[in-house]
């Protein structure tokens, strides 16, 4: 798929932009703060309905537009898919004024209403996912390697929700159940503990969580097949990269992993139930859920040619190595999405060459062209 046209109104620093895009590679060049990153952010927002930069959607509305009677931002694109299907995607953000004690509050603190349309028909955010698949690399993606487990979980979730609608539904439901379960654990600090009340949320937590764990594990296995070749090319065959999935549900004991998919899911579910029961006293004290996909992690192991011992990149990698790992991951994501959807996703690269030596820059350029 490729974008044929992008239109922005009051988005970030753009008052208005209409940009026609040809197939192939598009290079955007300009000085600092001219809107290069914002343009890529807009495309990714149309693909995922979430910003890669902003903490809240209101930050996406151009500051000068807040003085208008109805402050809003509009992002629109036209997509041409492989089968010549044409899709128009549109998101409009409207900032409503809020009042307190009869006084207008500062408009940046107002309530945002998000309107999503696909081919002119109103849709939910969940219905938008998959219409435009995009892979975005930003300089801050070093957090995938050196940051918290939460950053790595969010990355996996963003990738999987674009290619697997069921994953998106399971993730949304899991978050709701987790919030309700944690609330109940807090209540048990003030009143009598009732096992039956908790069991209702446990069942739903296990049902949705098991699918998330299984899908993440499967995806990491597929990543490893793809990323090995990409990372080797980016490092002139001097380094090998392997991803390790670390679910908080203990799956280390022998399982019948060669069995049918339903059988494996059943075994994972049983392990999840066992750990919830074993951790219940600690959860009562902590008033929070201590096991589940919300506590998973992914680690990156590098093996250099002259040293057969794998190195944990989060602890020991240089910034250049970390950037190469993040790039390898994003380029592998392109291949994964292509295999899952039979469409080429839109690859968005921001300030991609910084902190790479000349050899890695040349290798990266060739890999991108080949992709």
What is the C-alpha to C-alpha distance for residues 47 and 128, in angstroms, rounded to an integer? 7
Mean model confidence pLDDT for the chain: 89
- Give the bridge partners for 244, in sequence order: 299
Q: pLDDT per residue over 188-210, tens digit each?
A: 888 887 888 899 999 999 999 99
Written as six digits, the tokens of 29 are 């060049």
Q: pLDDT per residue over 288-328, tens digit each?
A: 999 999 999 999 999 987 677 899 999 999 998 999 999 99
Nearest to 321 by CA among 349, 350, 357: 357
What is the C-alpha to C-alpha distance for residues 58 and 110, in angstroms, rounded to an integer? 8
Q: pLDDT per residue over 153-189, tens digit each?
A: 999 999 999 999 999 999 999 999 999 999 999 998 8
Sequence-ordered list of residues with C-beta below 8 angstroms from that of 368, at least 6 positions apart, any chain: 25, 331, 347, 349
Binned at pLDDT 50, 70 and 90, residue 97 comes out as low
What is the C-alpha to C-alpha distance for residues 137 and 152, in angstroms, rounded to an integer? 14
- Residue 366: which region, alpha, beta or left (left: phi > 0; alpha: psi -120 to 50)? alpha
Asked if 271 and 261 touch (Cβ cutoff 8 Å), the reply is no
- CB count within 10 Å of CB 121 equals 9
């Amino acid at each position: 798929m490729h974008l044929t046209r992008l239109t922005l109104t009051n988005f970030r620093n753009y008052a208005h932009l209409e940009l026609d895009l040809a197939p192939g590679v598009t290079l955007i060049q300009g000085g600092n703060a001219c809107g290069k990153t914002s343009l890529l952010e807009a495309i990714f927002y149309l693909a995922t309905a979430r910003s890669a930069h902003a903490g809240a959607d209101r930050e996406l509305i151009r500051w000068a537009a807040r003085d208008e009677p109805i402050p809003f931002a509009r992002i629109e694109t036209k997509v041409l898919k492989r089968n010549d299907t044409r899709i128009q995607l549109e998101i409009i953000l409207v900032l409503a004024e809020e009042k307190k004690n009869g006084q207008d509050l500062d408009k940046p603190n107002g309530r945002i209403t998000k309107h999503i349309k696909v081919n002119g028909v109103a849709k939910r955010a969940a219905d938008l996912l998959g219409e435009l698949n995009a892979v975005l690399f930003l300089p801050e993606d070093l957090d995938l390697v050196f940051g918290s487990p939460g950053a790595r979980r969010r990355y996996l979730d963003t990738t999987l929700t674009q290619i697997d609608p069921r994953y998106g539904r399971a993730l949304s439901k899991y978050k709701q159940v987790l919030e309700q379960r944690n609330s109940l654990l807090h209540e048990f600090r003030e009143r009598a503990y009732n096992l039956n009340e908790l069991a209702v949320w446990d069942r739903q937590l296990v049902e949705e969580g098991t699918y998330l764990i299984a899908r993440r594990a499967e995806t990491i296995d597929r990543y490893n097949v793809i990323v090995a070749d990409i990372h080797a090319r980016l490092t002139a065959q001097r380094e090998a990269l392997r991803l390790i999935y670390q679910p908080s549900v203990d799956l280390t004991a022998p399982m019948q992993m060669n069995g049918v998919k339903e059988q494996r899911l059943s075994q994972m579910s049983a392990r999840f139930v066992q750990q919830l029961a074993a951790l219940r006293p600690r959860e009562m004290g902590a008033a929070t859920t201590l096991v589940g996909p919300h506590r998973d992690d992914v680690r990156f192991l590098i093996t250099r040619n002259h040293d057969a011992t794998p190195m944990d990149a989060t602890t020991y990698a240089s910034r250049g190595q970390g950037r190469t790992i993040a790039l390898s991951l994003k380029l592998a994501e392109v291949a994964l999405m292509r295999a899952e959807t039979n469409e080429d996703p839109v690859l968005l690269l921001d300030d991609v060459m910084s902190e790479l030596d000349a050899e890695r820059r040349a290798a990266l350029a060739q890999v991108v062209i080949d992709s």
